[in-house]
Amino acid sequence: MQEDTFYRTRRKLHQHPELSGQESNTARFVEEQLQAFAPTKIIRHVGGHGLLAEYFFSEEGPTLLFRADMDAVAVQEPNDLPYHSQNPGVAHKCGHDGHTTILLRFAKMLHEQPLKQGRVLLLFQPAEENGSGSKAVLDTHVLDYYTIDRVFALHNIPGFKSSAILCKKGSFTCAVISVSIALTGKTSHAAEPQKGISPIPATLRIVEELLQWNNTDIQSDDYFLATIVEIHAGEEAYGVSAGKGVIRATLRAKTNHQLHEYAEKLKKLIASASENTPGLQHEITWLEPFFANENDEQTVGMIKNIALREGFDYVEIETPFSWGEDFGLFTQQYKGAMFGLGAGENCAPLHSPQYDFPDELIETGAKIFYSVASRS
């Protein structure tokens, strides 16, 4: 049975998860599976451990790119799953094992039922979780050899009916970036804090003002969420006044432009707060950027029509998902769209230890991809 074959493939991937940038064994396994489906060519080491499989049918027709992510997250999985992770502290808790398997199933469809024209590119992308994979792929310029007409990706989404197709035009996932703010002053005796340079007043001001900017109503055009993930100042040394501090946070907004504006505003706040403590130095490090997925309206209409034609429930979501997804960088470069695949109303949340990708979604995802390719 097709289902049994690809269920086993997905569970094999699940047992051997690898973190962002470390997907060498995953890439090797994916390539082994691909060989049976006879792609025209396979390009290795795309943006790290990525693979690009090409299916060429004719010069006429569009060139379409379909992307799946391959990396896992740093979560300890319980051992009660029969095919639980064999790598301690690493697990496929975002469903990238399922996304990869969907693309492999799609490859089999293309092999068994070749398209009449065009070219299909299957991108097995590394390092999605830390936001570096899409940029690394694009920086190789391997995609520049093709004239890509549209790009597609999906993500399973717990909390929605199984196999429902979720989409919207415009921002589908938010723009997100993380920031680390290092404040460096000078320690002193706790009895003589005036002889030191403490980061604490600046820390308190930065955190207080940053959180005041929050507008957590995602219906609002000015949605913005700053989440403090760590605050640290000084050490457990009661005779010493703190000389160093750090603030770490994630920032998210609906669009890249909005996020950029808040990032610039934060820079000014940090500079101002530091200047109020003479001698205090600050350093800002921006990490793990995720561009907003800007779905092309025509592409969204195509996905909607195909979903309904194939008999799947279609849900037009009203607001973008607040999490980041680095396929957004592709939708900044090319026309295309990301859509959601309902993982079941009782499916555990993404990144939770209890989450496991529902195998029945493999056929749904591959069928939508194949229908998109054959009707484009």
> Which amino acid would we find at residue 356?
D
Residue 3 confidence (pLDDT): 63
> Which amino acid would we find at residue 311?
G
Residue 4 confidence (pLDDT): 83
Q: Please, what is the end-to-end C-alpha distance for the chain in angstroms?
A: 29
Strands 175-184 and 244-253: what pairing?
antiparallel
What 8-state DSSP symbol labels residue 64?
E
Helix (H, G, I), strand (E, B) or coil at 221: coil
Angle between helices 24-35 and 96-112 (to 10 degrees): 20
Helix (H, G, I), strand (E, B) or coil at 2: helix
Question: What distance in Å separates the CA atoms of residue 151 and residue 255, rounded to the nearest whole number?
Answer: 19
What 8-state DSSP symbol labels residue 317?
-
Residue 63 dihedral angles phi and psi, to the nearest 5°: -105, 120
Residue 1 confidence (pLDDT): 45
CB atoms within 10 A of CB 41: 9
pTM summary value: 0.95
Token output for 285:
């490090």
Q: How many helices (H) and strands (E) does the chain have?
A: 9, 16
Which of 72, 78, 124 is CA-nearest to residue 95?
72
Q: Which residues pair with 287 in a beta bridge?
A: 178
Detail the DSSP E strand segments found in the chain. Answer: 41-46, 50-56, 63-69, 119-125, 150-157, 165-167, 170-173, 175-184, 188-189, 224-233, 240-241, 244-253, 281-290, 293-295, 314-316, 336-342
Domains located in the chain, CATH noted? 2-172+292-375 (3.40.630.10), 175-289 (3.30.70.360)
What 8-state DSSP symbol labels residue 108?
H
Strands 240-241 and 119-125: what pairing?
unpaired
Which of 143, 137, 167, 126 is CA-nearest to residue 63?
143
Question: What distance in Å separates the CA atoms of residue 47 and residue 30, rounded to the nearest whole number?
Answer: 16
pLDDT in tens, the chain (376 residues): 466 899 999 999 999 999 999 999 999 999 999 999 999 999 999 999 999 999 999 999 999 999 999 999 999 999 999 999 999 999 999 999 999 999 999 999 999 999 999 999 999 999 999 999 999 999 999 999 999 999 999 999 999 999 999 999 999 999 999 999 999 999 999 999 999 999 999 999 999 999 999 999 999 999 999 999 999 999 999 999 999 999 999 999 999 999 999 999 999 999 999 999 999 999 999 999 999 999 999 999 999 999 999 999 999 999 999 999 999 999 999 999 999 999 999 999 999 999 999 999 999 999 999 999 999 8
CB atoms within 10 A of CB 229: 11
Which of 356, 331, 364 is CA-nearest to residue 168?
331
Residue 237 confidence (pLDDT): 94
